[in-house]
Amino acid sequence: MGDLSCSKIRNICILAHVDHGKTTLADHLIAACGGGVLHPKLAGRLRYMDYLDEEQRRAITMKSSSIALHYKDYNINLIDSPGHMDFCSEVSTAARLSDGALVLVDAVEGVHIQTHAVLRQAWVEKLTPCLVLNKIDRLITELKLSPMEAYNRLQRIVHEVNAIVSAYKSEKYLSDVDSLLAGTSGDVDQGLVEVEDDEEDMFQPQKGNVAFVCALDGWGFCINHFAEFYASKLQFSMSALIKGLWGPWYYHTKKMMIVGKKGIEGVSKDPQPMFVKFVLNPLWQVYQAALEADGDIRMLSKVISSFNLSVPQRELENKDKKVVLQAVMSRWLPLSDTILSMVVKCMPDPVSAQATRICRLLPKRELVINNSSLYDIFSEAENVRKCVEYCDSRADAPCMAFVSKMFALPFKMLPTKGPNGEFLNNQLTGEAGESGECFLAFARIFSGVLHSGQKVFVLSSVYDPLKGESMNRHVQEAELQSMYLMMGQGLLPVSSASAGNVIAIQGLGQYILKSATLSSTRNCWPFSSMMFQVAPTLRVAIEPSNPADMGALLKGLKLLNRADPFVEITVSSRGEQVLAAAGEVHLDRCIKDLKERFAKVSLEVSPPLVSFKETIEGEGINLIENSKVSLCSTEYVERTTPNGRCVLRVQVMKLPKTLTKVLEECSDMLGDFLEGQSRKRDGTLGSHIAQDDGEVVGVVRKRILDALESELGVSVKNDQDRVERYRKMWSEYLGRLWSLGPSHVGPNVLLAPDSKASNISNVSLGQKGILIQGSCDVSKRLGFFSDAGLESGTSSLSTEETAEETESLYREAEALKSSIVSGFQLATAAGPLCDEPLWGLAFLVEPYLFQESSEASSQSDQYGMLSGQVMTAVKEACRAAVLQSKPRLVEALYFCELTTPTEYLGAMYGVLGKMRARVLKEEMQEGSSLFTVHAYVPVAESFGFADELRKRTSGAASALLVLSHWEELPEDPFFVPKTEEEIEEFGDGSSVLPNIARKLMNSVRRRKGLHVEEKVVQHATKQRTLARKV
Ligand SMILES: Nc1nc2c(ncn2[C@@H]2O[C@H](COP(=O)(O)OP(=O)(O)OP(=O)(O)O)[C@@H](O)[C@H]2O)c(=O)[nH]1
Ligand SMILES: [Mg+2]
């Protein structure tokens, strides 16, 4: 394998929405070029790549897997990926290892949500995509479209897919402009705009990167097939025909010319574009001839003779019309040939692919380094990057490989013979051995040559070669055992593999959890992390049915965590084992795997643990106007530490929605540079200032300002005075951002007190106190400045104390700052309703510190450290402030796309109604009897949704859910009807509670073992009658 020329390699993946035909297409490619592992007769039916039992049972793909194909003298590594939303992480792993992507779209169903997602994935990973319009047969046999209608439909799909890609391009363009604007105040380069505008469509049949296929019947074509055929017949050049066979071009029969729309006017009443006349018409005729009862069978013979096909008589005489059709079509327009020649022609080999993908794989680092030993490391890392860029496959080049996932295989499935026929000793070692499972790494080599027995470094994604010793826990040394070429489930042992290849590696099980970089040197950066479309959101607690099996369960969870790239295993604060999966189907498979493969014990699975957030009522921007900066208003909560030395006043306000959204969306970036800065302050590497940081800060700052401006535009439209006032007020607030929470990056802010706030007297102690100033850390890092609160230290002095005493008080105040931030972090991590994180709130905290009085000092010890007291008091005060300001529960919503035949529309709405769903859009799919409905469904209600839908509609309707956004429940969870009218409307509480917010809050409280205020039996008699009814 090592001596294969890179130019003859293609690494590709098949991506699409669920059920659009990826695995069926893969079958045909395998039957033709897989070295005989799949008989052509079974192609399209076996679904060779779906080798897991669960995949065959459910008829969907659940993991990505690879197969090596030989086409002409090319080696093609094909990765089939799942289309179901629950397994979208597998799409990320497939895309990372590939250079090209076949994007499939079902010609009947058209573009769906996952089509968007996979196009984005391909775009992000810088893959070269080709479009495959599948299931063309359904246009003929199911929808019974005319060739002209079919052409319009195909054209629309191509158009739509192009629009999606161009949106990604302009998104990138916009973010480029954003950072440009943020970096310099100068004008945007006009040239940039034009270049992007001029960019032509990504997918064009004329370019040869669009194929029209029917994977089920095994045929497909690109325009050039027909161009070749007609070129000699009509006496045109290939290039003219290729151009004419797509778009509004017509054939002028008399003049024997290709003309535009104008040229054909008056000549023919109902002109057909050349694509319809020369391509679709013959196809339609063949289908009709073969399948319809009154079909003219001579049409088939005509095709056979004009295309010089050799179809065995035996097949032509078959009684099953479908077999006859497939026999002719698959010989006339062989699918594998069409697809693979397109792959070879349009998709790059690893060398040219890596040259363009390098900026995504290993972003360039602009560092200024003074230290000479660090400089040596840096230049070696640069050299490694060059080798990846050029896909250096020489034996002495540094090795770089990326493991995108680990997968488990039973030991007995491993080959027993090595590459040279020698017997392999697959000993079972360690914990994997006990379970009979072996872990293999799914990897792509980007530079150098790997061979079995080689020692490599395993780098985690946060490894930084310039950080020396401190990085030791992010790098390990491992020895590669066997290496295999993957043939779906089968493995072909190889002794070595060079850059540009995709392989499976044995022996890394204990070093890699999910993904990692393998390298022959420590002096390089790891590959950048993969992008995942969603995070695992469906969480359940798991325990063994028999408590004695706890050990087995823990081991099993550990193995599952390794074997599945997407599950997350955590331990809850109550000590439960919590498993997070992407959705119900994924969860089902995980539980099944746990029970049958990894833990092998019987398990109890809790109902899903749904996450909520907590906030307060109100709309952001207006509320803030009323709150006085210096807390003169009475709407604050005051708390004093037990020893009486610190008094805290806290006021809570709601942030504008747009700002909350930005803070949430930017949390990664914020986390990076807020942390990055503190790292720098630690002094580990003074000169190490990544240029990126500056840009990132600019982007975040701009997004925050834009968010506020857009909110101003919405809430106060035409009142210029108010706009100005708000703007001023906000610029002051932005200058006082002290911390974000929870975890220092969340969507809540801690505002530093106004330095102009006056000192207060503590009456009980008869002393003056000083205001502890905040440090506006976040404002400084984001580059927001204001006069207020920026000067560090504390405000004006108390008059009577001696200078010495005052100074010590100030020192103490300085030290207490971090306790205040910690208290805020704790409060925002667990709100007062049901200990869920807070969302979109600003806390203004004014802490006052008092001199220790002599009597107090004697007893102060009994309360412990002051810092601890302050932290608790801040937390309590924040929680109390939220409770006082009309707290509200916030829930997560799914965006849901449902497809259903008309007759089940009613049943589907029935299911949606029960789920508190909000329907956004209902649309009939053109030319079919299918309805597409878009709706928001609360996550809390969504469990069992898919099952319920399947049952009520006999499996005809399908739904896909994507996590969309968070939304506040308008109800007050503490609402109790008091006035007569309210009692009339809502009842007196004795009947079923209509209050959904309370119901949800209580269910979380119950789960967490918090106090639940509920009257268990209120009207015993009524309950009895109720019970009898049931
Ligand atoms: N009529 C028709 N049906 C097709 C065609 N290609 C695939 N199918 C059918 O579509 C269904 C789904 O095919 P798969 O190949 O499993 O789809 P997939 O994209 O791999 O699905 P996932 O991996 O679950 O996302 C199967 O029932 C196929 O028989 C086609 O060209 N025409
Ligand atoms: Mg599949």
SS3 per-residue string spanning 525-548: CCCCCCCCCCCCCEEEEEEECCHH
- Going from the Cα of 633 to the center of ligand 2, the distance in angstroms, rounded, reads 62
Cα distances from 486 to residues 17, 65, 492, 953, 978, in angstroms, run: 24, 8, 6, 40, 70
- What's the 87 CA to ligand 1 centre distance in angstroms? 17
Give me the residues near ligand 2 (ion), CB cutoff below 5 Å. Answer: 22-23, 61
pLDDT for the residue 1014: 64
Work out whether strand 400-410 and strand 612-616 pair parallel, antiparallel, or are unpaired.
unpaired
Ligand in nearest proximity to the CA of 82: 1
Using a cut of 0.85, tell me whether the model's pTM lies above it: no
Produce one character per residue of 210-228: b if its CB has 16 or more CB atoms within 10 Å, e if not: bbbbbbbbbbbbbbbbbbe
Is the CB of residue 223 less than 8 Å from the CB of residue 205?
Answer: yes
3-state helix vs strand vs coil in the chain, percent to 5: 45, 20, 35
Please tell me the distance from the alpha carbon of residue 931 to that of residue 928, in angstroms, as a whole number: 8
Question: Angle at the Cα of 831 (from 737 to 849), degrees rounded to 5?
Answer: 50
Tell me the pairing of strands 748-751 and 841-850. Answer: parallel
Probe residue for ligand 1, chosen from 19, 22, 154, 213 as the CB with the greatest number of ligand atoms within 8 Å = 19
- Residue 279's nearest CA partner among 321, 223, 320 is 223
CA distance 1008 to 578: 13
Tell me if residue 766 falls in helix, strand or coil: coil
Are 40 and 31 in contact, with CB atoms under 8 Å apart? yes
The pLDDT of residue 995: 80
CA distances from 359 to 117, 135, 353, 363, 949 (A): 21, 36, 11, 5, 44
Structure tokens at 196: 């992007």
Please give all residues whose beta carbon lies within 6 A of any atom in ligand 1, as ranges: 16, 18-24, 47, 60-61, 82-84, 134-135, 137-138, 214-216
β-pairing, 65-71 with 74-80?
antiparallel
Both structure tokens of 285: 């005729």
Residues 691-729 as b/e (b if ≥16 CB within 10 A, e otherwise) read ebbebbbbbbbebbbebbeebbeebbeeeeebbeebeee
Q: Any idea what the Cα angle at residue 177 is, between residues 174 and 180, rounded to 5°?
A: 155
**Residue nearest (by alpha carbon) to ligand 1 atom 7:** 21
**Closest to 670 in 3D by CA, of 658, 662, 680:** 662
Which residue has its alpha carbon closest to ligand 1 atom 14?
21
Distance (Å) of CA 583 to CA 113, 360, 414, 532, 914: 16, 29, 31, 14, 20
Residues 6+ apart with CB under 8 A from 899: 109, 925, 930, 931, 932, 933, 957, 958, 959
Structure tokens at 62: 């659940």
Pairing of strands 538-544, 250-252: unpaired
For the chain, residues with pLDDT lower than 50 are 1-3, 180-198, 431, 623, 626-632, 677-692, 761-765, 788-801, 992, 1023-1030
CA pair distance 182, 1001, nearest whole angstrom: 43
Cα(943) to centroid(ligand 2), Å: 24
pLDDT digits (tens, 9 = 90+) for 886-913: 889 998 888 888 888 888 888 888 888 8
Residue nearest to atom 11 of ligand 1 (CA): 19
Write the CB contacts of 492 (distance below 8 Å, at least 6 apart in sequence): 68, 415, 484, 485, 486
Nearest CA to ligand 1 atom 5: 216
User: Of 76, 79, 21, 77, nearest to 45 (Cα)?
Assistant: 21
